[in-house]
């Protein structure tokens, strides 16, 4: 009998804790909180993000901003972003080499004191942020990669000043070009103590089917560590 009363007491305590938890976060989620990113610099350029938070007590929340870099993943600034009264915020993007190449910025308002992990190239945003967010917003940036024409199609030329997938590897625009005979060149070049590769990808989505590439180089003279990757995305 004593054991049953103890179990009942534990259940009541847990129920009370869960109820208070849901009341706290549920009331914040229903408070009409809103976040807006009003300005970001053009793709490939350094600059600043400007935005606004409204509909929530600024003393009870904190703001985190994440950015996504293709073939690298999600990153964060690993600290809450200061929100000024009456709700404006500003974020300097000039501190990171890869930030100009981000194609998405996502901002989340989360409860004060929530432990937010530091994102450094992960495939997805933190679960704890998404599930506990009071409000969120995402603004895309269209990548303005250099283009070239080959085999009747337009192709983007990949560039990355830091190592990204596949590899990980550096990529530079100068290593991909089309000569006067219409032949595509993808070359490797030395980058200090590493190598810079080349990658192109079509502007338009292509369907499934059979695609034939004719190689005009002497493959038996290439370094055995060189790889060629072809994939549909």
pLDDT tens-digit series, residues 83-109: 998 999 999 988 778 888 899 999 999
Q: What is the pTM of this model?
A: 0.68
Q: Quick one: pLDDT at residue 27?
A: 39
Task: Based on DSSP, count helices (H) and strands (E) in the chain, helices before strands.
Answer: 2, 18
CA distance 81 to 78: 9
Q: Let me know: does 215 contact 183? Beta carbons within 8 Å.
A: no
Domains assigned to the chain: 31-140 (2.60.40), 146-221 (no CATH)
- Rg over CA atoms, the chain: 25
φ/ψ region of 77 (left if φ > 0, alpha if ψ in -120 to 50, else beta) reads alpha
Tell which residue, 80, 98, 101, has the closest CA to residue 89: 80
Q: Are 49 and 67 in contact (CB under 8 A)?
A: no
38-93 pLDDT, tens digit each = 999 998 888 999 999 999 999 999 999 999 988 889 999 889 999 998 999 999 98
């Amino acid at each position: 009998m004593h054991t049953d009363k103890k179990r009942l007491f534990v259940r009541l305590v847990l129920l009370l804790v869960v109820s208070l938890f849901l009341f706290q976060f549920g009331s914040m989620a229903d408070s009409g909180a809103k976040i807006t990113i009003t300005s970001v610099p053009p793709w490939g350029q350094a600059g600043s993000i400007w935005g606004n938070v409204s509909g929530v007590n600024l003393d009870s929340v904190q703001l985190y901003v994440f950015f996504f870099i293709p073939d690298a993943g999600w990153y964060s600034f690993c600290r809450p972003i200061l929100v000024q009264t009456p709700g404006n915020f500003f974020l300097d993007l000039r501190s990171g080499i890869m930030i100009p190449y981000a194609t998405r910025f996502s901002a989340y308002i989360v409860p004060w004191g929530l432990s937010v992990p530091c994102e450094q190239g992960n495939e997805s945003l933190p679960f704890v942020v998404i599930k506990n967010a009071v409000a969120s917003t995402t603004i895309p940036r269209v990548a303005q990669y250099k283009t070239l024409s080959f085999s009747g199609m337009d192709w983007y030329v990949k560039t990355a000043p830091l190592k990204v997938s596949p590899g990980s590897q550096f990529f530079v625009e100068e290593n991909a070009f089309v000569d006067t005979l219409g032949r595509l060149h993808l070359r490797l070049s030395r980058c200090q103590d590493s190598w810079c590769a080349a990658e192109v990808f079509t502007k338009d989505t292509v369907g499934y089917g059979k695609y034939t590439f004719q190689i005009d180089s002497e493959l038996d003279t290439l370094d055995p560590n060189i790889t060629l990757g072809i994939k549909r995305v």
